[in-house]
Amino acid sequence: MTAVVAAVGISRRYGPVTALAELSLAVAPGQILGVTGPSGVGKSTLLRLLAGLERPDTGHVAYAGEPAWAGRGVRYPRPGYVMPVFQNPTASLNPRWPIWRSLTEPLTAPGRERPGRARRRHLAAEWLARAHLDHIDPDTRPGALSGGQCQRVAVLRALVARPALIVADEPTARQDVITAAATSQLIAAATAAGTAAAVVVSHDRAWLAGLAHQIVDLA
Amino acid sequence: MIRRLWRHRAGRAGLALAAAVVLLALLGPLAWPYQPDLPDYARQLTPPDARHWLGTDAAGRDQLARVLAGTGTSLTAVAAVFALTALIGLVVGAVAGFLGGPVDAVVGRTIDVLLGLPPQITALAIVGALGVGTGNLVVALVLAGWAYPARIARAAVLGSHRRLDVLAARLAGIGRWRILTGHVLPGAVTTVLVAATTTAGETVLTLAGLSFLGLGAQPPAAELGQLLADSQSSLVSSPWLLIGPTAVIAAMVAAAMLTADALADITDPAPAPARAGRRARAARTGGDGALVATGLSVRYPDGTHALRGVDLTLAAGTALAVVGESGCGKTTLARTVLRLLPAGTAIGGAVHVAGRDLLHLDRRALRRSRGYLVGYVAQDPYAACDPLRSLGHHVAAPWRVHRRRPPAGVVRDRIAGLGIDPGRLRDRPHRWSGGMVQRATIAAATAHRPAVTVADEPTSALDAGLAEEVLATLRGASSALLLVTHDLRLAAAHSDRVAVMYAGRIIETGRSGDVLDAPRHPYTAALLAATPRPDGTPVRGLPGSPPSLRDLPAGCPFAPRCDRRVADCASREPTLSDGVACWNPR
Amino acid sequence: MGRRLLSPARAGLRRLGQAAATLLAGSVLVWALLALAPGDPARRVLEAGNVTNPTAAQVEAKRAELGLTGGPARRYGRWLAGAARGDLGVSWVTGRPVRDELGRRLPATLRLAAAAVGLGAVAALALALLAAAAPGRWPDTAARVLSTGALVVPGFVVGLVVLHVVVLRGADLRVIADGRWATVLLPAATLALAPAAAWSRVLRADLLRAAGSGHVDVARARGASTWWALTRHQLPHALVQFLTVVGTGVAALLGGAPVVETVYTWPGIGAYAVAGIASRDLPVVQGYALLAIAAYVAVSLSVDLAAAALDPRVAERRR
């Protein structure tokens, strides 16, 4: 089986600071890889490199066996191949948009079905219901939601894209245990079908232990 | 946007003032019978009367007619400057930010350099070269003023590369152009409008000032600043000539300021500071125990009923953990005991610490008691320390704030006792590790051996391994500890008793071991299932969200998320009996 | 950690370079005014020298003398070299060197500006501390009403009222404004009014923002009084920003100076420049603008360097 994402000897420096020393890893479909370690060891840098948000200084990243940085920019096998979940849930949703719009934005990418407005609201409500969030009105703006609710919407937004790889950077750092549990359930359910893989960074080892199939300690 | 402005108090005042000035300029000249430029040498400098409401000027012209005409001239000029600076700024800034590369480098430098020049001087110099006249004044002000909105627009577009919602859209495969129009520009337009409105008041004043100097509209045309200049020679005898032009200028500036303030408010969702208010009457009952709260209720100025009748007792020498989801009221409980609630919050019930009625201490007594009755350990140790002051300063602060000297050697001993190297006390907090800083804040909080130490999520900013150590330190240093946390497992390990909160009430309380081993309330059980275990058992979430504390429905607030619901749950809210508030406990 | 960190020396040098670039750009702008202005400078200078109907040869000679021949780059280079030596050309009205005209009036303006900055900063500090000590109560409201009034009414109107209605009506004979320290109070207070109001608002907001930070909560929980927290914990954090705001506020003072000087007939360079604009005496306008821009760039440079030196976090973060 081809790895969803493979990294060979990747490293990254910011000026004189080495953010990530050489590292290699591969994640197979359906797998959840946990990444932990003290602050400043390059957990977030690793995620940004795996997500193709930054180009590694050395080494290669490959998606489904194809090199990610072939030409000038990053190349994904398809739109929404990698989807992110961030530490700050409120900032990861557009504050001006009702959540149905953020939630279904991945569907409007080129080559996707590009549903109309009414259809998008309907789909958003469906996704919310699937995550037991049917009490949230799809027309709400992120400012009116709690951080925990925003985080669950942000995870759902990632899932709507039907990603091959979910990268989550400290998704529970500012959340209470209930939100953290809901987040890990959503990620686990998405990978259980075998279509998606996930790389999850967290400093909460106990929480990670309950979610990941394998844990890398970047100490 | 206009609708939201209208709902804001200052915004409504600003819009109304602006509308009034515009109407004055448009309709005033039609409604008022006198001509602005028709001299009447028989009626020079008459004081205001029934015919000439603002009197007449040195040439016998009706001052109100001149003010109305002048308002039109000034308003047109200000509107032109506003529209042109905003438009040029937005286009130049956004295009540069979007294109990036050498174009952006050149534009960015130009903007920086222009912003380094004093705008009024630049405008003055340009008018000096172009010659006087309203049109030239507008050109000068636009040339001197477009850089500020341009910088704002450029920053909004450039900064969007790091915005999380934009990153997510990029990964989802959304194209650059649609990201620009969907995510970036709407925000940039708003910020540019706010920036342009902020400077509009200044534009009015600069325009008036330059016209006053004779650099704007030329006679016989009327302009507000020029009217003021005209009246200068007859002011000693006819000071009323100042009234009209000044009032209109002030109204225009005030309209711009109020609207800008309101715009900044409604586009920045940070909560407004609470206003002063009164506190509800509280029952007076005594108590034993280090901390006794009876019937405690707290309602914030925005209507959030954060505590709805909380009773708890913390015995001396013990630790009580208050546990619950975000928004359950646990932090409010901590801040009530600390008396750090925002002004205008209504507090009911009573809190006694070491027998003293905490809610009825006057300001002076409260200040004197602080640090002696209740000590406070905050969530983020770095935020709890003034970054400008050394760690040693923070350890000695409990004495200094009460204008006492720390007893000789005591600071050093306490520091050493907490495992901190005394040689590094002069270092500022950010050069220490989080665990060390938190230990120092614990030392400071417990310096006077307060009857109760309140700790609000003291370890959530620390790594898991450190949390255990810090909690042990905290426990050892406190005579009685009120520990607020969302982590039930951690709480139980470091406390004698646990109180679980939901929707502003305690729904289960008991000995820590008992609650951990055999939770009786379904919510406690759910909380436990959601808490990670060291052995890696998968956690289970809890569907739904906690209810809004502004308007709670009848019945048990947990019922909508509960899997043990019975008929009673929808109609009546259970109260705490035998340590649990549930109609169908486990 | 994506940002590159600069050493303090490099950051200082960088800021210095920025100031130099701004000054250079300002000089280009001032020089370009000549191109914007209608009319032939050589003719104007000749007319100023009482040659009413100059011959073509005379104009040509004057043009060469004024350095108005050759391409724009050469003309600018000559002009800049002259300006750097202090040669700002001759007034088109009096025919005298602009340097002498400005130099004679500069001390009066410096006195006015210094007094205004001092008065304004002290007033703003007092007003903001008063307001921030009791947010929402009457001292705060009073300070807000006062500062709003000072912001919406043009400073020169206040000057007009003071001068014509209060002082001149008082009718006792005395010198109101002669450019010396003894008479600086009224014009300086007038000039400082609006900037002081703006500064006090910024400082109040910063003080209250600092009050919302965790360490002030902690200090209050330990028993710190409002005043203690305000002066020991809030003010130090707000002070650096205050310094910067006052520094940029010098721009407002410079911009307001011509108006206030005109109202009070204060014999400074601002009033002189205004007269220069009215009489289309471009070299005077250029000289004044160049001087004001240089002063402004120098002030904001020193304020920025001082702020970096004052805030230890800026210095230590760079290690």
- Cβ partners under 8 Å of residue B347, min gap 6: B279, B280, B282, B296, B297, B298, B336, B341, B359
Q: What are phi and psi of B547, to 5 degrees?
A: -70, 155
Residue in C closest to A40 by C-alpha: C1
Average pLDDT over residues C143-150: 85
Average pLDDT over residues C180-201: 86
Residue C39 — left, alpha, or beta (φ > 0 → left; ψ -120 to 50 → alpha)?
left
Any CB–CB contact under 8 A between A15 and chain C?
yes
Please check the confidence at residue B254 and state whether its pLDDT lies above 60.
Answer: yes
**Chain B partners of A78 at a C-beta cutoff of 8 Å?**
173
Q: What per-residue confidence (pLDDT) applies to B423?
A: 74
> What are the residue boundaries of the structural domains of chain C, listed by start?
2-84, 104-318
Number of Cβ pairs < 8 A linking chain A and chain B: 149
Tens-place pLDDT, residues B153-178: 988 888 888 888 888 898 888 888 88
**Helix then strand then coil, % of chain C, to nearest 5:** 80, 0, 20
* From B167, B463, B532, residue closest to A84, measured CB to CB: B167
The structure's pTM equals: 0.73
- B124, B130, B136, B237: best to mutate for the C interface, most C CBs within 10 A: B124
Any CB–CB contact under 8 A between B535 and chain A?
yes
Is residue B305 included in any domain, yes or no? Answer: no
Please check the confidence at residue C30 and state whether its pLDDT lies above 70.
Answer: yes
Nearest 10 degrees: CA dihedral of B168, B170, B174, B179?
90
Domain that holds residue B174: 38-62+77-247
- Cβ partners under 8 Å of residue B551, min gap 6: none
Tens-place pLDDT, residues B185-205: 888 888 888 888 888 888 898
Cβ <8 Å between B122 and C289: yes
Tens-place pLDDT, residues C230-279: 887 788 878 888 888 888 788 778 777 888 888 888 888 888 988 888 88
Cβ <8 Å between C4 and A19: no
Is residue B534 included in any domain, yes or no? Answer: no
Residue in C closest to A19 by C-alpha: C1
Number of Cβ pairs < 8 A linking chain A and chain C: 9
Is residue B586 included in any domain, yes or no? Answer: no
What angle, 0 to 180 degrees and rounded to 10, lies between the N-to-C axes of helices B185-212 and B224-231? 20
Cβ <8 Å between C4 and A14: yes
CA of A92, closest CA in chain C: separation in Å? 19
CA of A166, closest CA in chain B: separation in Å? 11
Is residue B236 included in any domain, yes or no? Answer: yes
* Chain A neighbours, 3+ Cβ pairs < 8 A: B, C
Residue in A closest to C4 by C-alpha: A15
- C158, C218, C232, C239: best to mutate for the B interface, most B CBs within 10 A: C218
Cβ <8 Å between C222 and B370: yes
Cβ <8 Å between B169 and A105: yes
What does the H/E/C string look like for B277-316? CCCCCCCCCCCCCCEEEEEEEEECCCCCEEEEEEEEEECC
Q: Which residues sit opposite A60 in a β-bridge?
A: A8
Is the distance from CB of B373 to CB of B451 less than 8 angstroms? yes
Any CB–CB contact under 8 A between C5 and chain A?
yes
Any CB–CB contact under 8 A between C319 and chain A?
no
Tens-place pLDDT, residues B264-287: 777 654 333 333 333 333 333 334
For chain C, first and last CA: distance in Å? 13
**Chain C partners of A15 at a C-beta cutoff of 8 Å?**
4-5
Q: What is the CATH number of the domain that holds B215?
A: 1.10.3720
Tens-place pLDDT, residues B442-495: 888 888 888 899 998 888 777 767 788 888 888 888 889 999 988 888 888 889
Q: What per-residue confidence (pLDDT) applies to C311?
A: 65
| Total domain count, chain B | 1
**Chain C partners of A39 at a C-beta cutoff of 8 Å?**
none
Any CB–CB contact under 8 A between B432 and chain C?
no
**Residue corresponding to tokens 């914007």:** C36
Cβ count within 10 A of residue B583: 19
Residue in B closest to C251 by C-alpha: B118
Any CB–CB contact under 8 A between B130 and chain C?
yes
Q: What per-residue confidence (pLDDT) applies to A42?
A: 84
For chain A, 219 residues long, give each residue's pLDDT as a single digit of tens.
689 999 999 999 887 788 888 889 999 999 999 998 877 778 889 999 999 999 999 999 999 989 999 877 888 999 999 999 998 888 899 988 999 999 999 999 988 888 899 999 999 999 999 888 888 889 988 877 888 888 899 999 999 999 999 999 988 876 788 888 888 899 999 898 877 999 999 888 888 988 999 999 887
- Cβ partners under 8 Å of residue C87, min gap 6: C97, C99
Cβ <8 Å between A181 and B560: no
Tens-place pLDDT, residues C40-98: 777 777 776 677 777 888 888 877 777 677 778 888 888 888 888 888 888 888 878 88
Any CB–CB contact under 8 A between B131 and chain A?
no
Is the distance from CB of A203 to CB of A36 less than 8 angstroms? yes
Tens-place pLDDT, residues B492-537: 888 999 999 999 999 999 998 888 888 999 999 998 888 887 777 7
Cβ <8 Å between A209 and B535: yes
Q: Which tokens in the block code for residue C127?
A: 């007003």
Is the distance from CB of B244 to CB of B63 less than 8 angstroms? yes
Q: What per-residue confidence (pLDDT) applies to B22?
A: 92
Using CB atoms and an 8 Å cut-off, which of residues 179-208 of chain C contact chain B? 194, 208
Is residue B87 included in any domain, yes or no? Answer: yes
Is residue B209 included in any domain, yes or no? Answer: yes
* From B165, B326, B545, residue closest to A94, measured CB to CB: B165
Any CB–CB contact under 8 A between A177 and chain B?
yes
Tens-place pLDDT, residues B304-359: 888 998 998 898 888 999 998 888 888 899 989 988 888 778 888 888 888 788 88
Cβ <8 Å between B239 and C165: yes
Tens-place pLDDT, residues B88-132: 999 999 989 888 888 888 888 888 888 888 888 888 888 888 888
Q: Which tokens in the block code for residue A94?
A: 């557009």
Q: What per-residue confidence (pLDDT) applies to C3?
A: 41
Q: What per-residue confidence (pLDDT) applies to B283?
A: 32
CA of C254, closest CA in chain B: separation in Å? 7
Cβ <8 Å between B125 and C18: no
Mean pLDDT of all residues in chain C? 80
Any CB–CB contact under 8 A between C110 and chain A?
no
Distance CA C207, CA C125 (A): 11
Using CB atoms and an 8 Å cut-off, which of residues 95-124 of chain B contact chain A? none
Residue in A closest to C3 by C-alpha: A14
Q: What per-residue confidence (pLDDT) applies to C318?
A: 34
Q: What per-residue confidence (pLDDT) applies to B286?
A: 38
Tens-place pLDDT, residues B371-425: 888 989 888 888 888 877 888 888 888 888 877 777 767 777 777 776 777 777 7
CA of B528, closest CA in chain A: separation in Å? 9
* From A38, A135, A161, residue closest to B463, measured CB to CB: A38
Query: What CATH number is given for C104-318 in this structure?
Result: 1.10.3720.10
Q: Which range has the worst mean pLDDT, C41-45, C173-177, C201-205?
A: C173-177
